[in-house]
Structure 1
Amino acid sequence: MSWRESRLMQVIWTVIRVYVGWEWLSAGISKTFGASSAAWVGPKAGAAVSGFLQGALAKTGGQHPDVQWWYAAFINNVALPNAKIFGYVIAWGEVLVGISLILGALTTIGLLAAVLMNMAYMLAGTVSTNPILLFWEAVLLWAGAAAYYWGVDRVLLPQWKKRRLKQGIA
């Protein structure tokens, strides 16, 4: 057993995983059920995303733009025309990532989704807590199974693998 898989590290990975999960869950809950939820998933769905993306587009100019031209093209051609869909995906995605990480259920998928969202936010020129969360998500991915030793995946994944072997799917 390596040091990253030791009992002490399993506890530390769990604390970090739950912290990152809480950050995602609280952000998602405010978008899904909070005062601003109407602009994310309610009758004005897409308004918050449109405002955020318009702000990102404003950061595309100058010698060293915060938002690169190719990401601005993605924003203009994909994200803005589908702002309502992106509003739902972002709000509920944050909730689901938070639940996944707090419970340690489908942890790797939750971490990969979190990395994807953090990268999207940072590519749009937003810093905030995103680099810190991205760092911890990468560390948890590196920790591997030790990151979810104290979680649902500890029971769920062996059962899933056993079923796959019974079905002859390796």
Structure 2
Amino acid sequence: MKFLKNTYFTVVWTILRVWLGIQWIVPAIEKLKDPTWVGSKSGVAITGFLKGAVAKATGEHPAVQGWYAAFVQNVALPNAQFFSYLIPVGELLVGVSLILGAATIIGLFAGAFMNLNYLLAGTTSTNPTLYTVAIILIAVGANAYLIGLDRFIVPYIKEKFRSQVA
């Protein structure tokens, strides 16, 4: 695991981080432009996705666990309109964060959390790959953002915090 923290790999981690950011921005923009996602009073697109997740919770080997289907049924579906805004905006923020290397670790955790939710909803697609890349970048820590805005933001925040505590 020590090789992950090697600064010689910084360029590799930066390329992976920017690639991951693009993977979040592209679907976010598509959703934000799609009137069935954002602007629909019923959250049409997300409602179909969520109902599909609930349907996958049945059978002998369900793709969606019962507890997650209950969450979808009782929390997400009744608030579909809210989630129809939250998801594409969250995807966009994660993408921008990763491309700029600003609030990188927060962006990585948020992206991994969204990928995990998509997986729990029974959607594989690119989610296992994106989740794995996010976890690897979290593991490399500061090397994930040495080439990015966090190289300047993190020391500034640390210094401000230290001056407030002292």
After superposition, residues 71-86 of structure 1 pair within 5 angstroms as 71-86=68-83
Q: Tell me, yes or no, if the aligned pair for 2:4 and 2:139 is still in contact at 8 Å.
A: no
- Give 5+ residue unaligned stretches, structure 1: none
Dislocated runs of 4+, deviation >2 Å: 2-8
Q: Tell me, yes or no, if the aligned pair for 2:56 and 2:122 is still in contact at 8 Å.
A: yes
- Give 5+ residue unaligned stretches, structure 2: none
1:132 lines up with 2:129 in the alignment: yes
Matched residue, 1:41: 38
TM-score, with structure 1 as normaliser: 0.93
Partner letter of residue 94 of structure 1? E
Q: CA–CA distance in 2 between the matches of 1:88 and 1:74?
A: 18
Q: Tell me, yes or no, if the aligned pair for 1:4 and 1:10 is still in contact at 8 Å.
A: no
Partner letter of residue 162 of structure 1? E
C-alpha displacement at 1:44, in angstroms?
4.3
TM-score, with structure 2 as normaliser: 0.95
Equivalenced residue count is 165
Superimposed CA distance per residue, residues 16-58 of structure 1 (whole angstroms, 9 cap, x where no aligned partner): 000010000111111112xxx2122123461111000111111
Matched residue, 1:160: 157
1:103 corresponds to which of 73, 82, 100? 100
After superposition, residues 141-152 of structure 1 pair within 5 angstroms as 141-152=138-149
Q: Tell me, yes or no, if the aligned pair for 2:4 and 2:140 is still in contact at 8 Å.
A: yes
Matched residue, 1:19: 19
Q: CA–CA distance in 2 between the matches of 1:45 and 1:148?
A: 39
Superposition RMSD in Å: 1.3
Q: CA–CA distance in 1 between the matches of 2:160 and 2:52?
A: 48
Task: Name the CA shift for 1:147/1:124 in 2 (closer, same or farther; >3 Å).
Answer: same
Q: CA–CA distance in 2 between the matches of 1:62 and 1:168?
A: 56
C-alpha displacement at 1:168, in angstroms?
1.5
Partner letter of residue 61 of structure 1? T
Identical residues among aligned pairs (%): 49
Query: 2:109 is paired with a residue of what secondary structure?
Result: helix
